[in-house]
Amino acid sequence: MREHHQRVIKRLVDKFYDDPRYLGLIVGGSVAKGCAADDSDVDIILVACDSEYHKRYQSGDLLYFDDTLCDYPGGYVDGKVVDLQYLKDVADHGSEPARAAFDGAFLAYSHVDKLADILKHIPVYPEYDREAKLKAFYSQVLLLNWYVGEAERRHDNYLMTHASGELALFGMRLVLAYNRILYPYHKWVARAVECAEKKPEGFLELMNTMLEQPCKATAQAFTDSLTNFRDWGVSHPQAVVNFMQDREWNWRSGQPPLQDW
């Protein structure tokens, strides 16, 4: 960690440690992950007491921003305010992006027993629905590949852009799930896939070719790389049903959009 980021974290601790409204301070983002640049901001999560969180929740004041604590060019502190129950909920049933936000995160201070233990259990891949995700994501790959072909046949630029982008996303999510790597949302997903040990040969190259030259042929090559990598246990008719249930009928079960699952 860079020295100027350490100085900012110390100033944050000095500012909040004795404030009874806040139970703890968590440092996350690129600083915690060890990939910060010189001018990276410091991402934090303030754990508020119940009364402070309720007050902020009612007013919608759940963000924290401060550009006065950083003594380096372009620096600022950016963060969120949560309650202790939020951390428990993320550890128990949080989405992958919610869990991934805590990857590498550490406590700057805590007034709560076992907060460190709760934090440790958050950035863990959820095994309970991994098999369902593998089948769901592969089903999306098959059907989105078909949509790319339809877009080419119809000369539909919007459909081509949308379908090829979604095909790339669900192909990457399939690889991440297979490797038990949390999906860190769009900003870092390609980097996460790059770190995945098990994936089709030339996977990212095929994906980038498809995105740069979206058409039926490049989409098929990308899809074939996944199909030939292993047997995902999904037939084409099953994929159609899965696609329908996860895309068109998910509102019936209250399931969130599949891309955020």
Give 66-77 pLDDT, tens digit per residue: 999 999 999 999
pLDDT digits (tens, 9 = 90+) for 196-232: 999 999 999 999 999 999 999 999 999 999 999 999 9
pLDDT of residue 257: 84
Exposure string for 182-199, b = 16+ CB within 10 A, e = fewer: bbbbeebbeebbeebeeb
pLDDT of 255 above 90: no
Residue 7: Cβ within 10 Å count: 16
Q: What is the mean pLDDT of residues 127-137?
A: 96
pLDDT of residue 151: 98
pTM: 0.92
Token pair recorded at residue 111: 């007034």
pLDDT of 171 above 90: yes
Distance separating alpha carbons of residues 56 and 6, to the nearest angstrom: 28
Distance separating alpha carbons of residues 206 and 201, to the nearest angstrom: 9
Non-local CB neighbours of 154 within 8 Å, separated by 6+ positions: none
One-letter amino acid at 119 equals: L
Distance separating alpha carbons of residues 81 and 16, to the nearest angstrom: 13
pLDDT of 149 above 90: yes
Fold of 3-120: Beta Polymerase; domain 2 (3.30.460)
Give Cα separations from 8 to 69, 82, 195 (angstroms): 6, 21, 30
Exposure string for 78-111, b = 16+ CB within 10 A, e = fewer: ebebbbbebbeebbeebbbbbbbbbbebeebbbe
Length of the chain: 261
CA 123 to chain centre: 11
Q: What is the DSSP string of 21-86?
A: TEEEEEEEHHHHHT---TT--EEEEEEE-HHHHHHHHHHT--EEEESSS--STT--EEEEEEEHHH
